[in-house]
Amino acid sequence: MLDKANKEDWQRLIDLIKDKFSDGEEPDLDAILFLIGVRELGIDKRRFKKDEKLDLLHIAICRLLAPYGYYKLIGADEQGWPHYELIEKLPALKAGEQSILMKEAILRYFDEEELWP
């Protein structure tokens, strides 16, 4: 479970994304990961194929877990898609623990990238 400060920051982030990117619908974790993946790719205003959407989620997860030492950016391909190398295998986590790790990593990302007030 997120601590109180992170819970408040998470709700603030959800509200920000909801206001900016959705029609009042609260974004789920996958929607936030998709947005991060698109941002990391650096391409917007484009429709992505189903397999590209999965790649964007993977990019986001790798980017979010890189500061924890799990992945390392190794470069981009000729189309500009970033590629990561697995440095350390993720520990076995329960679903709830995975969610907490991702939420904490997303909050860290938004702080480091100065994406919110």
What is the value of pTM for the model shown?
0.92
How many domains is the chain partitioned into structurally? 1
> Is residue 32 situated within a structural domain?
yes
Q: What is the DSSP string of 30-84?
A: HHHHHHHHHHHHT--S----HHHHHHHHHHHHHHHHGGGTSEEEEEE-TT--EEE
Q: Is residue 117 part of a domain?
A: no
| pLDDT (mean) for 108-117 | 92
Residue 78, in any domain of the structure: yes
The domain in which residue 31 lies consists of 4-111
Q: pLDDT tens across 12-38, in order?
A: 999 999 988 878 889 999 999 999 999
